[in-house]
């Protein structure tokens, strides 16, 4: 070889280029599992989505979207305690995520834990008062606890924001 240093420089450059592609361009396994989880979830296969999001979390324990989506899938499977666990972890990572509180509040409500549900829906409204679902869902929890006036106020607010379910609730005379 005439220029061993030139050849060595070429090898180092080639290695660094390949490493850059692996680190910055090539899809990461966690991303692949996440996309597969989204696909399963969109097709209604929530059980498979839970498994795939779990694979993401094994690789990246603080993957907020995997936690949120796995929590949602657990709720769809009526595994509310598991949903609450995932959504609580997501909230710990990103406490300003209103949708995490919305989903967790709904899971608490499904378990009959309406005080906790109301606390989560209150937090949603504090973070983003435009989320009509929070008012609607808080209305159901208030109703379950015997607070009909509070429930009706929430449903009226939700209806004014365009929530179709709230309109039906009010039309069916749940509030006088």
- For residues 66 and 60, the answer to whether their CB atoms sit within 8 Å is yes
Structure tokens given for 5: 């240093």
Assess contact for 66 and 39: CB atoms under 8 A.
no
% the chain with pLDDT above 70: 85
What domains can be seen in the chain, in order of their start residue? 1-94 (1.25.40.10), 101-176 (1.25.40.10)
Residues above pLDDT 90, as percent of the chain: 80
Instruction: List Cβ neighbours of 62 (8 Å cut-off, separation of 6 or more).
Output: 93
pLDDT at 8 over 80: no
Evaluate if residue 16 carries a pLDDT over 50: no
In terms of pLDDT, which residue wins out, 5 or 145?
145
Q: How far apart are the first and last CA of the chain?
A: 94
User: How far apart, in whole angstroms, are the C-alpha atoms of residue 38 and residue 48?
Assistant: 10
pLDDT band at 157 (very low <50, low <70, confident <90, very high): very high
CA distance 36 to 49: 8
pLDDT, tens only, 47-70: 999 999 999 999 999 999 999 999
Residue with tokens 């869902």: 137
- pLDDT tens, position by position, 76-93: 999 999 999 999 999 999
Tokens 């660094």, located at residue? 16
Mean pLDDT over all residues of the chain? 89
Q: What is the pLDDT of residue 5?
A: 53
Confidence of residue 6 (pLDDT cuts 50, 70, 90): low
Q: What does the alpha-carbon distance between residue 159 and residue 163 come to, in Å, rounded to a whole number?
A: 5
27, pLDDT greater than 90: no
> Is the Cα dihedral 158, 159, 163, 169 positive or negative?
positive
Closest among 96, 93, 75 to 84, alpha carbons compared:
75
């Amino acid at each position: 070889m005439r220029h061993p240093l030139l050849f060595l420089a070429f090898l180092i450059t080639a290695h660094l280029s390949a490493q850059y592609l692996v680190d910055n361009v090539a899809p990461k396994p966690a991303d692949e599992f996440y996309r597969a989880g989204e696909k399963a979830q969109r097709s209604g296969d929530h059980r498979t989505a839970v498994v795939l999001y779990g694979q993401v979390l094994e690789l990246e324990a603080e993957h907020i979207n995997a936690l949120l989506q796995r929590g949602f899938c657990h709720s769809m499977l009526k595994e509310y305690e598991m949903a609450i666990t995932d959504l609580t972890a997501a909230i710990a990572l990103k406490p300003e995520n209103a949708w995490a509180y919305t989903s967790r509040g709904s899971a608490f409500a499904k378990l009959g834990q309406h005080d906790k549900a109301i606390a989560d829906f209150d937090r949603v409204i504090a973070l983003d008062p435009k989320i009509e679902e929070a008012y609607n869902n808080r209305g159901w929890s208030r109703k379950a606890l015997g607070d009909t006036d509070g429930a009706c106020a929430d449903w009226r607010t939700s209806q004014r924001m365009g929530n179709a379910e709230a309109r039906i609730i009010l039309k069916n005379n749940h509030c006088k």
